[in-house]
Amino acid sequence: MSDVPRPGEGERQIGLEHFLTTTTALGGVLKKDPEDFVVDEIPDLPMKVEDGPITIAKIKVSNWETNRLVRVLSKNLSISRFKIKFAGTKDKRAVSTRLFSFDHPIEKVLDLRIPDLEIIEAYTSNRELELGNLMGNHFNITIRDVGKGQDEMLGMIEPCLDQIISAGGFPNYFGIQRFGAMRPITHIVGKHIVHGDAKSAVMTYVGNPHEGEPENIYLARKRLEEEMDFEKAVSYYPVKYLFERSMIHHMKRRPDDWAGALDMLPDNLKMMFVHAYQSYIFNRILSERISAGLPLNEPILGDLVIPLNKKGLPDHHLTLKVNDQNIDNMTELVKKRQAFVSGAIIGMESGIAEGQMGDIESRVIEKEGISEDDFKITIISRISSKGMRRELLAPVFDLKWRFVEKEGLSPQFDFSLYKGTYATSFLRELIKGKVLDY
C-alpha cells in the first residue's frame, strides 16, 4: 500500500483523504487560462410564456464569481439582487454558460453591456429559476503544463480512466471550489454558524489572513484581528472586498451585534457557508468509508440507496434502506446505475444509515460535536438546512479525450456529469497534485 498515491495536506484539510485510482500522478494544472475550463449547463428550463413577467437568459461569462456577477447585474439593471436567480454556481476561473432569471423586462436584459459577458439567448416565462434547475453540466477541460511526452502521458491516462470506468465512476467528493482554493475557510465559517458562534463566523471571514493572498488584504485582515477596531478598519480595509466591508461597517455602528454583521451578507452566501460545512462532513464520511475498505459501487446491509427520479437524476430526498430481504435487488439496481449508494449531507432531516455505514456517519458527526438538530440555525433561522443524501460514486458520461497543442502537448477531456458533481474531483484522480493545481 505504500506505493498508492495519497492526497496532500491541503486536500486532507477539506476531507479528501483518498484517491480511487492507484495510478502514478500525471501532474499538470487546471484553469491556467479560463478557456481551459469550459462549462455548459444542461438545463431543466422553465416553460416559455409569451409576454411573461420573468426573463430567462442563457449567459456566457468568463472569469466571473457568481455573487459578484449577481451584484454587477443588479447594479446595471437597477434592480434588487433578490430579483435575479440562477440555476447553479460555477468556478470563477472558467468560461461558463449559465442560466439566469430576472424579474425584469426582457428588452432591458438584452441591452446589458458588461465585460466578458454575452447573452446567448433569452425568452419570457411565468416562473423563476431555482438553484438546481439543471440536468447536469457538460465540460471541456484542458490539463496544462504536464511536462511529459505523449507516450508517457498515454501510459498514465488510459490506466487511470480504465480504473474509473471499471468502478462505475469516481468518489463524489465536493471539490476545493466549495471551500475556497486560496483561502479554504468557507466550511469553517459554516461550522461556527452551526455551533451558534456568530463572532467566530464573522472574524473567520473578515480576519483570518492566509499566506498567498494579496498583500493589502493579508495585512488588513491581520491588523483587524490584532486591533479589533472596526471604526479604524473602515479606513484601511481594501475597497474591493465589499462583503467584508459591509460587515465591518455594521460592527462599527453596532459593536456587539455579531449576528447582525453576518446577516449583512446575501442569503445565498450565508447558505453557502452552511452547505460548505455539510460538504466537509460528507467528504469525511466518504473518506471513512473508503478507509474501512467498504465498496462505493455496491450496497451493504444498512446502506441507504438513492434511486433515480423520472428525469433520470438521483433523487437525493428519497432513499431505500438495504436489508436482508432486498439486498440482491438493491445490488442489481446499483449495478445497472439505476440507484446509488449514499452518504449523509447532515441536516435536520437527512437521516442516518444503519450498519457499518451508520457507524461511520455517527462517528464523524460525534467528532464534529454536532447533531442533526444543530442545522436548525439559531442565529439566522432562514439559513437552516434540512440536509439530504448524496451518491458516494459519481458516474462520468460521454467521456472523450485527445491531445491538443497549447504551449506544449496537453490532454483535453470532454464529458458530462450530474449536477452538483465536481469535474475537479474527477480530474484530480489523474493529476494527483496540490489543491491549487485544481
Residues labelled as active-site residues = 91
C-alpha cell belonging to residue 370: 454536532
* End-to-end CA, the chain: 25
Which is nearest to 426 in space by CA: 136, 209, 81, 180?
136
Bridge partners for 393 per DSSP? 171
In the chain, DSSP finds a helix count (H) and a strand count (E) of 14, 14
In angstroms, rounded to a whole number, what is the distance separating the alpha carbons of residues 82 and 267? Answer: 9
Which residues fall within 8 angstroms of residue 51, CB to CB, at 6 or more apart? 124
In angstroms, rounded to a whole number, what is the distance separating the alpha carbons of residues 304 and 320? Answer: 5
The answer to whether 394 touches 172, Cβ cutoff 8 Å, is yes
Q: Going along 44-111, which residue ranges are E strands?
A: 54-62, 84-86, 95-102
The answer to whether 162 touches 429, Cβ cutoff 8 Å, is no
